[in-house]
Chain A
Amino acid sequence: MENPENVIEVRNLQIDFHTYAGEVKAIRDVSFDLRKGETLAIVGESGSGKSVTTRSLMGLLAPNAVIKNGSIMFHGEDIIKKSEKEMQHIRGKDIAMIFQDPMTSLDPTMRIGMQIAEPLMKHKGLKKKEAIAQALEMLKLVGITNPEGRINDYPYQFSGGMRQRIVIAIALVCYPEVLIADEPTTALDVTIQAQILDLMKDLQNRIDTSIIFITHDLGVVAGMADRVAVMYAGKIVEYGTVDEIFFNPQHPYTWGLLNSMPTLDTEGGSLTAIPGTPPDLLDPPVGDAFAARSDYAMKIDTEKEPPFFKVSDTHYAATWLLHPDAPKVTPPAEIVRRQKKFAAMEKPEPPIKKETKE
């Protein structure tokens, strides 16, 4: 590992999908770190590659996927090089995932108690009776009322949100080192959502789990994340601490994202959607993939891909707007409001600058 604090290091990941229409270039050179005990949120446009990126950490890509390049280091070993058999020992035990579609990750023909107990029997060698007893505890933890009465029910007998909580129970039951949560709470109402988020935080505090949290709910990100990575068209375009992304965003896509939410005082009128559609990844555009939809696009955006520019030690953004020669632009009003707040926020004491004369 490059850094001992990291649990996972992803470098230059590139994933294509074979389809009849051609090669879908879904992940285009993605690199990131996951630190011990942190929550990293991945946000971004639908189809930008959040699920594919994280499924690759589990070794669970669709059969038509090809990893073209890159490495995924976990405990000093590259996950990409592992066999399916080796992955089966990691999956569900060291790295667990809550999938986006609850129904597809539950077995419709198996009682839910058994589904929660199974990983315990498989990875921890528990006897059925003990495993079921722990499954019952887990059901309570995720807030299913009358768990004793429901442990022998089948998935179809539960509401959408209850099914999702069962999926969450399965993922948490082995206390994994890394938890990947792909839209874990979208099917849940806000009260249960708050309960599940607390449960995940609690788990994190107790056993120092690292969490990758995928969601489009920026409110949840604001409450959960330590750091945030923003994806667009198969790339990470900006990453930083949660405060840096929410209060000092730099990439025009991040601006668009923060600008399209209704605030409590949005009345009538229409929401500020980002115009246009994301690029076709069969033939990704040259340069900054967001340029075609950006009010702030410059000529160079359609010619050359922007590198990451450093905003702070923890904050980087891939936009030509940060190039020293770029013209100064004014972001949307909501972003200016946020940046003002950032300027006024207490920041950690900067190291005292010594007068150095060369």
Chain B
Amino acid sequence: MPDERKKILEVHHLKQYFNVGKKDEVRAVDDVSFDIYEGETFGLVGESGSGKTTAGRSIIHLYEPTDGQIIFNGKDVSKLHTKAEMHEFRREIQMIFQDPYASLNPRMKVKDIVAEGIDIHNLAKDDADRTKQVEDLLETVGLNKDHSSRYPHEFSGGQRQRIGIARALAVEPKFIIADEPISALDVSIQAQVVNLMKELQEKQGLTYLFIAHDLSMVKYISDRIGVMHYGKILEIGPADEVYTHPLHAYTKSLISAVPVPDPEFERNRKQVVYDASREHDDKQRRMVEIAPGHFVRASEDEIPMYTKRAQEAGLVTDFPHN
């Protein structure tokens, strides 16, 4: 199925290793490839330490990749040379960081934190405009303007997270990497922020890479989902399909672990345990399109099994493998 939409981000065989060549080498991201289309939300889920944040940080070029390519808007991110190119890239792509407290400068007032990007990129006409923009942004994320002259430590965890969101939105980026943007928020504010992100997407055509572990929220906000495990992507597909008909055993176990807000259900919960040892059998694995747009990392001999699963789920009738 050829896709007519424009790819805003292409990640090709990205490898991001730490302490390369040393005894404690960590292969945080290990040969990961995926594309993100303009205007969509791509959800990245996976267990703690699987490399989601590292992937995000590689994409905004906080690290020099060990190997592989990151193409943003048709340009190779490692080859942005002029200051102007770098400047534009830094504005168009923003990251909302996982740890809200560590990413806010404790000595800066909230208004100056939020306006940081506005100042760097000269986006305000004058002081009054700057103040107005900051106040509007605070309101957008459900804080009020009285908060603007306070310091980060005077806020609750959820309030801090929203300051981070306001800061990212301030420069009107095209692409936002949101690393667990809502996990510190209470459900009602989560709903507000998610609604807000969707609204901005519709109005401004924003694209999101949404990193989270809350699968029900990821499923709700994302168009497509990628599932990461030990530095590799194991499954990619349409959000609903991955959620209702996961093909990979790891995805199944992840979904079975989602807590449900129903005490009766929780008392009888059955969790599917995943045995990761099968990934270490030295077989060659690659991403195989099992159903249209639905990929699984599989070895040649696993393909028939996944195809059968997809057929049983009604995802595919007769689909040739590439």
Q: Which residues of A contact B (CB under 8 A)?
A: 17, 19-21, 24, 43-47, 51, 62, 100-104, 149, 153, 157-162, 164-165, 183, 186-194, 216-223, 225, 242-243, 246-247, 256-258, 260-264, 266, 270-274, 277, 280, 282, 341, 345
Q: How far is the CA of A164 from the CA of B183 in the complex (A)?
A: 14
Q: Beyond the given A262-B191, A274-B188, please list 13 additional residue pairs across the A-B interface where CB-CB is below 8 A.
A: A21-B146, A43-B186, A47-B158, A101-B100, A104-B101, A157-B18, A190-B214, A190-B257, A216-B186, A216-B187, A261-B191, A264-B243, A277-B142
B192 to chain A, nearest CB (A): 4
* Min distance, Cβ A314 to any Cβ of chain B, angstroms: 14
- Cβ–Cβ contact A262 & B257, under 8 A: no
Q: What interface size band does chain B fall in?
A: 35 or more
A266 to B215, CA, bound (A): 13
Find out whether the CB atom of A280 lies under 8 angstroms from the CB atom of B144. yes
A159 to B54, CA, bound (A): 9
Contacts of A277 in B (CB 8 A): 142-144
Q: B residues engaging A (CB < 8 A)?
A: 18, 24, 45-50, 53-54, 98-102, 142-144, 146, 149-150, 153-159, 180, 183-192, 194-195, 198, 213-217, 219-220, 243, 253-254, 257-266, 269, 271, 274
Q: How far is the CA of A252 from the CA of B186 in the complex (A)?
A: 16
**Are B102 and A103 closer than 8 Å at their CB atoms?**
yes
In the complex, how many angstroms separate the beta carbon of A296 from the nearest chain B beta carbon?
A: 16
**B260 contacts A219, CB within 8 Å?**
yes
Q: Are A272 and B191 in contact (CB under 8 A)?
A: yes
Which of A20, A188, A190 is in CB contact (< 8 Å) with B254? A190
Among A47, A218, A246, the residue within 8 A (CB) of B156 is A47
Cβ-defined contact, B264 with A345, below 8 A: yes
Whole-angstrom distance from the CB of A15 to the nearest CB of chain B?
A: 13
Instruction: Report yes or no: A266 in contact with B220, Cβ–Cβ below 8 A.
Output: yes
Contact A273 B191 (CB under 8 A): yes
CB of B301 to closest CB in A, whole Å: 27
Chain B's nearest CB lies how many Å from the CB of A222?
4
Minimum CB–CB distance from A221 to chain B (whole Å) comes to 7
A194 touches B263 (CB 8 A): no
Partner of A216, one of B144, B190, B262: B190
B24 proximity list for chain A (CB < 8 A):
149, 153
3 closest A-B pairs (Cβ-Cβ)?
A161-B48, A219-B259, A46-B158
Q: Is the CB–CB distance between A45 and B153 below 8 Å?
A: no
Contact status B188-A51, CB under 8 Å = no
Q: Which of B216, B254, B263, B265 contacts A191 (CB under 8 A)?
A: B254
Known: A45-B188, A162-B48, A183-B184. A191 touches B257 (CB 8 A): yes
Task: Determine whether the beta carbon of A273 is less than 8 Å from that of B195.
Answer: yes
Q: Nearest Cβ distance between residue B238 and chain A, in whole angstroms?
A: 13
Looking at the assembled complex, report how far the CB atom of B102 sits from the nearest CB atom of chain A, in whole angstroms.
Answer: 4
Q: Which of A46, A149, A219 contacts B157 (CB 8 A)?
A: A46
Minimum CB distance partner of B158 in chain A: A46
Q: List 15 A-B contacts (CB under 8 A).
A: A46-B156, A46-B158, A46-B189, A47-B158, A100-B184, A159-B48, A159-B53, A159-B54, A183-B157, A219-B260, A257-B187, A261-B187, A261-B216, A262-B217, A273-B189
Closest Cβ of chain B to A209, distance in Å, is: 20
The docked-state distance in angstroms from the alpha carbon of A158 to that of B28 is 11
Q: Nearest Cβ distance between residue B212 and chain A, in whole angstroms?
A: 9
Contacts of B266 in A (CB 8 A): 219, 222-223
Contact of B185 among A46, A51, A101 (CB under 8 A): A46
Closest residue to A341 on the B side, CB-wise?
A: B264
Smallest distance from the beta carbon of B189 to chain A beta carbons, Å? Answer: 5
A242 touches which of B54, B146, B184, B263 (Cβ 8 Å): B263
